[in-house]
Chains A and B, each alone.
Chain A
Amino acid sequence: MTINRHLIEGRAWVYGDNIDTDQLAPIHSYKDKNAEEGCKFCLESIDPNFSMKVEDGDIFVAGANMGIGSSREQAPLHLKLLGIRAILAKSFSRIFYRNTLNLGVSALICLEVERISSGDILNVDPLKGRVNNLTTGETLECDPLPEHLMEIINDGGLMPHLKRKLF
């Protein structure tokens, strides 16, 4: 493992509690569209311009129960395809949490997300469980990712991880 490979630096987009999978991936966004097309509908019901605003390398910050609802993997996949590299939240809905990590995107539980505003530049270390808010100069604590999940993240997600393990 290279020392800083897992560090993520990017601009924060802050949303509230209970961001659900119907908001992240409404059924018309994935029933008969590929994910590259479908991700444009991500969060349209609460922020119609989200998909146009977000850029590669950005960080999604949510309140409690991020990703509540369905097991549909398009929910975190849409965020990933729009460029989101890490998701910080007070808590996660369990299937969304696993789906996010399985896609190679860090999902980190951070109880101090209130100290982040949209537009802040964050530097996230999932291994140490630390978020540096470069805009405010504050350092926030988050739960470090357990070793077996860090391994999946370092491999780039569960698919590349399985490829490495099985072949």
Chain B
Amino acid sequence: MPSMTLAEKIIASAAGLSSVTPGEIVTCKVDLAMIHDSSGPRRAGKMLDELGVPIWDKEKLVVITDHYTNDPDPGSLKIQAITHKWVNDKKLPHFFPEQGICHVVLPEKGFLKPGLFCVGGDSHSTTGGAFGAFMVGIGATEMVGVMATGEIWIRVPQTLQVNISGQLSPGLAAKDVILKLCGEIGVMGANYMVVDYCGTAVQAMSIDERMTLTNMAAELGAKTGLIVPDKVTSDWLTAAGVKNIDIMNWQNDKNATVAKVIDMDATTLCPQVAAPSNPENTSDVTDYSGTFVEQAYIGACTGAKLADLRMAAAVVRGHKVVKGMRFFVAPATTHIQDLAQTEGTLEILKDAGAVVLPSGCGGCIGQGAARLEENMTGISTTNRNFVGRAGPASSELYLGSAYSVAAAALTGKITDPREFL
């Protein structure tokens, strides 16, 4: 059998083939599909009902609400009502309403493991690659096809290997790595490819940090991101209650072909900030030092996991936010919020002046209290800063790590977080 990458092995297995090669178009059986309240029941669900066919396998469908859970406005309430009704009508076994952001809830509940071929009705479904699963984002109509047939066509992607050597210095995070990469290769730098993150710095990362890398493979234009599973993966999954975890069979073959390799040195990396209004407008934090910001937001699937909250706490411990600053923390899931509360991390953030918001997509998509106002400039741990995403078109958004966002909350300006560590 020819040498294959992990991605190729998962696709071949899902397609029932002994091997696949990049460029080939194959039809895969889906092991797991995830939908949320925005593109799920109210769009894909409605179309599936129009088609009048049953869901191929209810055990393999997970529904999570996170997009319109922050505001009690009539529009949001109606979407929640539609979601609940559809799930009840279909008698779906896996429904997690208002427990946090889908990309983080899904692994927390034990649905992901190495070797699975998964789809999600959201572009950041790439996050699943942190667990050695091949997971891609798809749109609503495509999801109808999956729910009806359990299958999807895919063009086998080429591999972009990102080898991150050395180790991250104090005050640096996976977010700095991925923003640097966005700056280096741009938002179409990995179009149609799978990004395989490897190297000593990745091996040393926690699952939370690995999820930041795979999440933002979407910002590189990639089909998905993947990190080859290891003991860190299996320990995390075991703790989440996952059974039958196979690490050994889901590795890259030694001589597998990769289309391109990018080498990065984590040791010399500076904290990174992406300026408005594209994640590739990235530069060292020091290049933007002094830029005035009125809001700091620690939130989103990519930026409010427990590791992110701990980073923010390390910066603000014993300090207060600058007068007039709006400092919001929206833990990615209610489970993370509970953990942060128990260990004292949330208290440190609140003591500094953080307002804790409900878990959900919230400010990242311009919903809830953290929506930017007209002409407002903010900094956040989210993954996109396109015009009009997090607020009106006149607002501007910088992206940074939880360290950098917390530092800006204290000073009211973009600040090198290492000054506080």
CB distance from B222 to the nearest CB of A (A): 8
Among B251-298, those with CB < 8 Å from A are: 278
The reply on A157 being an interface residue by CB < 8 A is: yes
> Do B187 and A68 have beta carbons less than 8 Å apart?
yes
The listed residue (A26, A69, A102) touching B142 by CB distance below 8 A is A102
Among A7-49, those with CB < 8 Å from B are: 18, 20, 22-23, 26-27, 31-32, 44-46
A72 in contact with B389 given A31-B68, A103-B141, A158-B142 (CB within 8 Å): no
How many A-B pairs have beta carbons closer than 8 Å: the answer is 108
> Do A73 and B388 have beta carbons less than 8 Å apart?
no
> Do A73 and B141 have beta carbons less than 8 Å apart?
yes
The listed residue (A22, A32, A91) touching B388 by CB distance below 8 A is A22
The reply on A128 being an interface residue by CB < 8 A is: no
The listed residue (A27, A69, A94) touching B223 by CB distance below 8 A is A94
CB distance from B56 to the nearest CB of A (A): 11
Chain A, residues 86-113, CB within 8 Å of chain B (1/0): the string is 0000010111001100110000000000
The reply on B323 being an interface residue by CB < 8 A is: no
Q: CA separation between A20 and B277, bound complex, in Å?
A: 11
Grouping DSSP codes into helix (H, G, I), strand (E, B) and loop, the A interface class, with mixed when no group exceeds half, is: loop
CB distance from A46 to the nearest CB of B (A): 8
The listed residue (A44, A45, A71) touching B138 by CB distance below 8 A is A71
CB distance from B149 to the nearest CB of A (A): 8
> Do B221 and A65 have beta carbons less than 8 Å apart?
yes
Chain A count of residues within 8 A CB distance of the other chain: 35
The reply on B53 being an interface residue by CB < 8 A is: yes
Chain B: CB-nearest residue to A29: B388
> Do B221 and A102 have beta carbons less than 8 Å apart?
no
* Chain B positions within 8 Å of A162 at CB level: 51, 144-145, 148-149
CB distance from B364 to the nearest CB of A (A): 11
* Chain B positions within 8 Å of A68 at CB level: 187-188, 221
Q: CA separation between A162 and B149, bound complex, in Å?
A: 9
CB distance from A78 to the nearest CB of B (A): 13
Among B223-252, those with CB < 8 Å from A are: 223
> Do A163 and B140 have beta carbons less than 8 Å apart?
no
> Do B25 and A146 have beta carbons less than 8 Å apart?
yes
> Do A166 and B148 have beta carbons less than 8 Å apart?
yes
Q: CA separation between A38 and B338, bound complex, in Å?
A: 38
* Chain A positions within 8 Å of B72 at CB level: none
Q: Given contacts A64-B188, A71-B125, A166-B51, could you give 13 more A-B pairs where the C-beta distance is less than 8 Å?
A: A18-B278, A22-B387, A23-B387, A26-B388, A32-B75, A65-B221, A68-B221, A72-B39, A94-B223, A102-B141, A159-B144, A162-B145, A163-B51
Residues of chain A whose beta carbon lies under 8 Å from any beta carbon of chain B: 18, 20, 22-23, 26-27, 31-32, 44-46, 64-65, 68-73, 91, 93-95, 98-99, 102-103, 146, 148, 157-159, 162-163, 166
List 5 A–B pairs whose Cβ atoms lie within 8 Å, in order of A's numbering: A45-B393, A71-B139, A93-B188, A93-B191, A146-B25
Top 7 nearest A-B pairs (CB, nearest first) are A32-B75, A99-B139, A73-B139, A102-B141, A65-B188, A45-B393, A22-B386
